[in-house]
Chain A
Amino acid sequence: MNNFTYTPTNSAKEATRLRRETPAATYVAGATTLLDMMKVNLVEYPQLIDINALPLTGIEQTANGLRIGALERMSDVGEHRLVVAQYPAVSESLLLAASAQLRNMASIGGNLLQRTRCGYFRDAAFPCNKRVPGSGCPAQHGDNHGLAILGTSEACIAQTYPGDLSVALLAFDAVLTLENAKGKQRRVPITSFYVLPGQTPHQENILEPGELIVAVTIPAAEHARRSTYLKVRERTSYAYALASAAVGLDVQAGTIRSARVALGGVGTIPWRSPEAEKILTGAPATDETFRAAAAAALRGAQPREHNGYKVQLAQNTLVRALQNVATT
């Protein structure tokens, strides 16, 4: 870990100005993942700009849906009455993540920007295209047991976002509010926030240098009210997903009127499946439909040597999640 200066701020304006002055600096919120990475020399910043005092808080109903400030803590959001009632999948994705201690510290904005858990990325002694562009990707023929099967490239097969929340946000068409150094805000749907690794796996999202995540807004919808997040992992808690599914169904008289399907743990980025949604929409809410949808969702999967099991696991996870919402 390198030495750094630490600068607390209390306004977005001040924070973005500091970033403009020191482009190599970065923001810090809960610090739950940033410090971990700094300690093992994966990233190096001369300055940390503490944004915890910024007024990026609040969970409130707006015309566009529920707006959640980027500095709200995972535990607060996960347990919030409105989130639980309107977006069970979002609540569950938060409460099934990390540990209680981490959730109490970790912010929503930080969560969206957490980085891959690929073991090669996490150890600076290994080459890794994501960490050092052009250095190679040992995971292609190495320990890829936990890595992605959808959206992969020859340059990278890791989950750029390994967590849970974004999967649920993706399913329910959340929109991010970003603010740049000039104080200008823009709204970006989460569907276009993360970018596929392609040949440039170090480019992970469309956030511009110095841009702040201000808030996340999730539109209200019936399929969001009837939703769930199912996470399969190698221990009961405190582990990343091997496969996960955020699903929402609006079922009327046994027929699915609208459906949302997103997968975690299997895509290089959180993976929405329009193919599955298409099969579900208008179809009877039966196991057969669910299995057809799951097969469609995984159709393009490209497993490597040790992660072939994920094709079946992700389908089963998705089917189970759909069964769970269909019967609630």
Chain B
Amino acid sequence: MTDSPAFEPSKGGVVGQPVNRVDGHAKVTGQAQYAAEYLLPNLTYAALKTSSIAKGRLKSIDTAAALREPGVLAVFTHENLPKMAQTPNTLAGKYAIYGMHMAFMPLTGNEIFYSAQPVAVVVADTFERATQAAALVQVTYEEARPVASYQSANAEVFDPNGQGYVFDLKKVVRGNPQASLAASAVQVKATYVHPINHHNPMEPGATIAHWEAPDRVTVYDSTQAVAMAQSSLATILGLPQEQVRVVTKFIGGGFGCKFNLWPHTVLATLAAKAVGRPVKLVLTRQQMFTSLGHREDQEQTITLGARQDGKLTTLIHEKTSTTSPWDIFAEPNGAILNWLYACPNYQSSHRVARANVMTSTYMRAPGESPGSVAMECGLDELAAKLGLDPLEIRLRNYANLDPGTGQPWSSKGLKECYARGAELFGWSKRSLEPGVTRDGRLLVGWGMATASYPVRPAQGRARVRLYADGHALVQTSATDLGTGTYTVITQVAADALGLPMANVRFELGDSNLPTAPASGSSVAAATVSSSVYLAIQDVWQRLTALAVRDSQSPLFKALPADVVREQDQLVLKKNPSKREKFSALLQRQGLADIEGVGNSKSGEGYEADQIAFDNKPGTKQTKRSMYSFGVHFCEVKVDPDLGTVHVTRWVSVMDGGRILNSKTARSQIIGGSIMGIGAALMEGTNRDEQYARYTNADLAGYHVPINADIPDMQVEFIDGHDPYVNAMGVKGIGEVAMVGTVAAVANAVYHATGKRVRSFPIVPSKVLGSDAV
């Protein structure tokens, strides 16, 4: 058995098959335990009191009435919150903690920085009593005038050049964009405006903190990243990492807002320590708008220069957005323009303004999703100006090499996606002219946009225990956001072990298990499947080592390199009649089980290892650019009198490398597309300028798409796997699913009406209004 780094699909294997979710039954029968559902003995309940102003100081905070309520155990404010070993409030502290996105921990002082900032935590023996007592906490403020956003008259907009947190927000220049723009035959300049978007997962942020000993705590938390939450909490609490355990067995959606550790989890953990009983804190739907970040409000201007034939010469992107009082955070929208199309001159820059809001955060394809609106709507505008078909202009600018780096692609099935998508959609029948296709009173429009998202570097470990009775336990700390991680990893393990899926149990979501990367940046399926696959290779190698030394094995004295695996057996390559089942081998050896571990890298790190390993002296291997790709096609029907827009058809064709499960993968693409339809047509968090406070912070006011907004969606994948990205050849699909979707809808609305609405969401007032051209 050789060290075989790349997965090969097996005959009759389940990898790729549209297998139903292995956790589906548990979910629909209520057996699946979410973070808030651990009924620990002596459980207590916390409720937050939040500020009613956006900026100022606490003058007084009176907890007497709350404390008098029956069942109330404690009320914590900045005056009595237990001390933390580290807070994110300083830059050094934030970097030490690492996993807290926001450089501010509430209840550490009397200053108010944003509306609905927590000012007190009430703990009581029932949820109802905690809730009532929280309402009884009396707070008075010294109010100051807040800044609501980058758009406010009192906002100070500045260039954060290089100062950005996570994304450095440096100005990037390639070629000579100013000169090439001036020399270009055609130019288009357009500004797109986006409101705040909130992730609004079904399951709110939720934590149960249970101190099992004075220096040992288990935290059940709705997080996409148990390992990062664990290390961050350990730093905050001043405990060794091993004494903090984070458990997340099921998540009801996250979309990025549960990637980092947020203050409510810390508050619950501190409160539990102080009251000496487990504490549960579940955020209310309203609090979900001010507790886990959001996609920032922003406007982006794209300037395109092109030749008469539509070939791009110049792409310039400028973005302005709102950030918080402490952090400089913005999604890097301009990045995607640097790789999506062959264009020799490129520039991107950012401006931000501090306002009285919490720090914005990652939301499905942060940067790429809104950035693709500028790119894909901008290109659509250019195509219209030149009288070119939108697909044709994309083909004319097809990038055979990564324009940003000059590197070849690890794989790129985008042309195939275009061709298949166009065929499924019937794109060739599209009228070039906008506003001319009708269905009765309705205007019909077709739009499309390209999708792409990087294969981000990640690494993770897994452990596999194979039992002599033919069952296996697979373990990593990974999380399943509801996307199907449980299922796809079980499929991979079943195939790699040669066992039926029913014999494989995949356990995840516990920091006691081998560390997997956070479920974010579309790395989970790729990295976790690869680490499990490698752990199973490790198992087979150990079994081979046992077999060749076992005089009773048919494989006795074989060279390990001559032994291969077929299903659940080891087989001598040269003489396949010599074979043995692992169970027979283990039983003879007197072993109840055997364990293997795997460490996988995905992306850059995987490639670097491969190059280093394969490289013969004197040869130089090429580095490759790694991206998922795809295309979305959309039909809308617009009522020109009422301003309503309905998406009536949808086709997505994606290249995400190897697809582990065509059903859960399809669900990912549908989900991302629906989020895009939401952002395009209805989603937006509104705020009052004077009070810097949201005016629609619940699910009645913040509209996410409902079933009636969504047509039947057609999704296909381009077959294939990418040999350069990781052992499984998986590129990832979670985020590429959303990229391009907003633009596809907006472009369809333009095609229907002949009017460009550049401010999102495209609600009836804007379709009717004269603010569009």
Task: Give the B-binding residues of A (Cβ under 8 A).
Answer: 1-3, 39-41, 99, 117, 119-120, 122-126, 138, 141-143, 145, 232-239, 242, 309-310, 312-313, 316-317, 319-320
B697 contacts across to A, CB distance below 8 A: 123
A117 contacts across to B, CB distance below 8 A: 700-701
B286 part of interface (Cβ distance < 8 Å)? yes
A233 contacts across to B, CB distance below 8 A: 644
With A232-B642, A235-B709: A143-B687 Cβ-Cβ less than 8 Å: yes
Q: B126: nearest residue on chain A (CB-CB)?
A: A3
B60 part of interface (Cβ distance < 8 Å)? no
- Return the contact of B768 from the options A1, A123, A235, A313 (Cβ within 8 A): A313
Structural contact, A138 and B688, CB atoms closer than 8 A = yes
- Return the contact of A142 from the options B115, B644, B688, B763 (Cβ within 8 A): B688
B276 part of interface (Cβ distance < 8 Å)? no
Structural contact, A125 and B768, CB atoms closer than 8 A = no
Structural contact, A41 and B135, CB atoms closer than 8 A = yes
A239 contacts across to B, CB distance below 8 A: 703
Flag B138-168 by CB within 8 Å of A: 1 or 0 each: 0000000000000000000000000000000
Flag B741-772 by CB within 8 Å of A: 1 or 0 each: 00000000000000000000101110011000
Bound complex: CA A168 to CA B655 (Å): 51
B689 part of interface (Cβ distance < 8 Å)? yes
Structural contact, B764 and A320, CB atoms closer than 8 A = no
B580 part of interface (Cβ distance < 8 Å)? no
Bound complex: CA A194 to CA B113 (Å): 41
Bound complex: CA A141 to CA B769 (Å): 20
A312 contacts across to B, CB distance below 8 A: 768
Structural contact, B708 and A234, CB atoms closer than 8 A = no
Structural contact, A142 and B701, CB atoms closer than 8 A = no
30 contacts across the A-B interface (CB closer than 8 A): A1-B131, A1-B135, A3-B128, A3-B132, A99-B706, A119-B686, A119-B688, A119-B695, A119-B696, A119-B701, A124-B52, A125-B115, A125-B691, A138-B688, A138-B690, A143-B695, A145-B686, A232-B764, A234-B681, A235-B703, A235-B706, A238-B706, A239-B703, A242-B765, A310-B765, A313-B765, A313-B768, A316-B641, A317-B642, A320-B642
With A1-B131, A142-B688, A316-B642: A235-B693 Cβ-Cβ less than 8 Å: no
B705 part of interface (Cβ distance < 8 Å)? yes
Q: In the complex, how many angstroms separate the beta carbon of A140 from the nearest chain B beta carbon?
A: 11
B471 part of interface (Cβ distance < 8 Å)? no
Structural contact, A313 and B642, CB atoms closer than 8 A = yes
With A1-B131, A316-B641: A145-B706 Cβ-Cβ less than 8 Å: no
Tell me the interface secondary structure of chain A in the complex: loop
Q: In the complex, how many angstroms separate the beta carbon of A32 from the nearest chain B beta carbon?
A: 11
With A1-B135, A142-B689, A234-B763: A123-B695 Cβ-Cβ less than 8 Å: yes
B682 part of interface (Cβ distance < 8 Å)? yes
- Return the contact of B693 from the options A41, A123, A236 (Cβ within 8 A): A123
A310 contacts across to B, CB distance below 8 A: 765
B763 contacts across to A, CB distance below 8 A: 234
Q: B69: nearest residue on chain A (CB-CB)?
A: A3
Q: B53: nearest residue on chain A (CB-CB)?
A: A125
Bound complex: CA A41 to CA B697 (Å): 15
B643 part of interface (Cβ distance < 8 Å)? yes
With A2-B135, A237-B706: A122-B701 Cβ-Cβ less than 8 Å: yes
B698 part of interface (Cβ distance < 8 Å)? yes
Bound complex: CA A27 to CA B761 (Å): 39
Extra pairs beyond A234-B682, A238-B706 (19, CB < 8 Å): A3-B129, A117-B701, A119-B686, A119-B695, A123-B697, A125-B52, A125-B115, A125-B116, A125-B691, A142-B688, A143-B696, A232-B642, A232-B643, A232-B764, A235-B708, A237-B709, A239-B703, A242-B765, A309-B764
Structural contact, A234 and B688, CB atoms closer than 8 A = no
A40 contacts across to B, CB distance below 8 A: 284, 286
Q: In the complex, how many angstroms separate the beta carbon of A90 from the nearest chain B beta carbon?
A: 21
Q: A240: nearest residue on chain B (CB-CB)?
A: B700
B698 contacts across to A, CB distance below 8 A: 122
Among all A-B residue pairs, the 3 with the closest Cβ atoms? A119-B695, A125-B52, A236-B708
Bound complex: CA A238 to CA B709 (Å): 10
Q: In the complex, how many angstroms separate the beta carbon of A33 from the nearest chain B beta carbon?
A: 10
B53 contacts across to A, CB distance below 8 A: 125
A320 contacts across to B, CB distance below 8 A: 641-642
Bound complex: CA A238 to CA B115 (Å): 28
Structural contact, A313 and B695, CB atoms closer than 8 A = no
Q: B678: nearest residue on chain A (CB-CB)?
A: A235
Bound complex: CA A122 to CA B709 (Å): 26
Bound complex: CA A142 to CA B688 (Å): 6
Structural contact, B693 and A234, CB atoms closer than 8 A = no
B415 part of interface (Cβ distance < 8 Å)? no
Q: B696: nearest residue on chain A (CB-CB)?
A: A119
B646 part of interface (Cβ distance < 8 Å)? yes
Bound complex: CA A237 to CA B706 (Å): 7
Flag B698-715 by CB within 8 Å of A: 1 or 0 each: 101101011111000000
